[in-house]
Amino acid sequence: MNSAIICLLSFLLVSCSGNDNSSNSNSLLENSNVLDGYLSEADFNELFPHANERPSSISDADRILYSYNNMSEGLDLREAFSIFMSEGDDTLKRLELAAILANWAQETTGGWDAAPGGYTSWGLCFQEEDGARSSSDHCYFDPNNKFQPTKKPEIGAPCFFGRGPIQLSHNANYGAFSEFLYEDMLVLLDNPDQILRDGALAFASGYWFWTTYSGSPNVPNKTCHEVMVEVGAQGFGKVINIVNGGIECNVELRPLSNLYGKKIRNRADHFHYFATYLGVESELPLRPEGVREDNQIWNDYYRAVLVGCIQ
């Protein structure tokens, strides 16, 4: 039996070329069909006009890592991702899409307060965590968990700073994602920059975190997908608590002048940006008019959007 037939019959989601480390974007799955009618390539380009403006510094990185095609192919990489946007009515599906895009946008934003087009339009700008490759403070390596690379990391690769739309960080997450995708934790623990070379793989890391990760101590035994399905727009704060709760959540709303006070408001603003585009902004608390301020009206609004994150 020739190799092509073997590959077809096996239904293995690895490359038939013999490279077991490939993410194999030529998947037999069609999970990405769920995007039909909700997000097109034209929509993606309109929402992310500054995508990839800050590419990775490695020479063989995918210069168009963030693209609609890669977003779709990443969703098709594993059956587990089919749960995304699969539950609830049309409104709930739009809210879940807005929530995942909002967190990807905030994690990768290159925007600032006076950014052209508004800071919410600068999502998917950074392919890797800004300044982390040369910083000893951004290796995010824990020698005590079970996900250990072959060699202890040094500054730069293979350190475990943020990469891809969710800015996958820490050796525990790289190892768990690698084990999920390849049944071998070392594939990405020993080569975390692979996420920057393969756009479908980069987006798969985002879907993996969204649909399967339930290890947050702040929202125990729940995935981002589950909290959005359970409570809709009111689940957005809990999603942040899963994504970055140890830094941004479980405190009073910080002042707008505070770094994290601004970041948490930016997440809420990204959610409003995408929810508005997708036609479900009425599900969110009514946003005050004008430029945001650090006053009672605006802070009450942000507390309402961020319930489940801000105390």
Comparison of pLDDT for 250 and 16, the residue scoring more: 250
Residue keyed to tokens 């594993």? 78
The pLDDT value recorded for residue 190 is 97
pLDDT in tens, 53-107: 999 999 999 999 999 999 999 999 999 999 999 999 999 999 999 999 999 999 9
Alpha carbons 203 and 201: distance in angstroms, whole number: 5
> CA-to-CA distance for 302 and 297, rounded, in angstroms?
9
Domain ranges of the chain: 34-305
Task: Quick: pLDDT tens for 193-214.
Answer: 999 999 999 999 999 999 999 9
Closest alpha carbon to 112 in 102, 122, 99, 101: 122
Mapped onto helix, strand or coil, the DSSP state of residue 310 is strand
Whole-number pLDDT of residue 289 = 96
Examine the pLDDT at 156 and tell me if it is beyond 80: no
Where helices occur in the chain by DSSP H, the ranges are 3-10, 41-47, 68-75, 90-107, 171-182, 186-189, 194-197, 199-212, 224-231, 236-248, 259-277, 296-305
pLDDT of residue 158: 80
% the chain with pLDDT above 70: 90
CATH class of the 34-305 domain in this structure: mainly alpha
SS3 17: coil
Task: Dig out the tokens for 303 from the structure.
Answer: 């507390």
pLDDT at 290 (0 to 100): 95
Q: What is the pLDDT of residue 3?
A: 45
Amino acid 155: pLDDT: 78
* Residue 168: strand pairing partners: 163
Cα–Cα nearest to 54, from 132, 170, 159, 138: 132
CA 229, distance to chain mean position in Å, is 17
Tell me what the mean pLDDT of segment 288-304 comes to: 97
Bridge partner residues of 307 (DSSP): 310
Is 107 in the active site? yes
| Each residue's pLDDT tens digit, 172-187 | 999 999 999 999 999 9
Residues 33, 215: Cα–Cα separation, whole Å: 29
Catalytic residue among 107, 128, 129, 281: 107
**pLDDT at position 294:** 98
**Residue 154: which pLDDT band, with cuts at 50, 70 and 90?**
confident
